[in-house]
Amino acid sequence: MARRHDIERIFKELEEIQGALNDPTTGLGAFHQEQDQLRRKTLENVQQGTAALREENRELRRRQERMLGDLGDTRTAVEGLRREIAQAGHTRWSCLARQMRMAGRRSRSQSIRRSFWRPAPTATGRTGGRSKRCPK
């Protein structure tokens, strides 16, 4: 009889558990609804975060494009300046070589008395000055 009493008690507990599981406010249905809501909230948060990261990524790409454009402009400007410097140096050295050749053509006494940087006076008594082709 003790066994029968234990079995009845076990069946009663199982019926209570089954009733709790079938209850719409606290049972499995409520659990599934709660899990579904949590899943939706999580999915919404992930989508919002992803959208924000995509927008930030677009902005960073725009900045990078602008910086690359500016860098290209700077490189072009630097190359232009290098060309100008090289041309100016070439002009300066070619003027110096021409003046040295001209100094070599003068008589030895004139080249000793006058530097090739100062031209000899002209017939009017003025110095000719530097040529416009040879900058200072």
- Residue 4: CB atoms within 10 Å: 8
In terms of pTM, does the model score above 0.85?
no
The residue ranges of every structural domain in the chain are 40-111
Tell which wins on pLDDT, 57 or 134: 57
The tokens of 96 are what? 């110096």
Q: What average pLDDT is seen over the chain? A: 80
**In the prediction, which pLDDT does 99 show?**
75
- DSSP track, 83-134: HHHHHHHHHHHHHHHHHHHHHHHS-HHHHHHS-TTSPPB-TTS-B----TTS
Using 50, 70 and 90 to split pLDDT, how confident is the model at 106? low
* Contact (Cβ atoms closer than 8 angstroms) between residue 103 and residue 116: yes
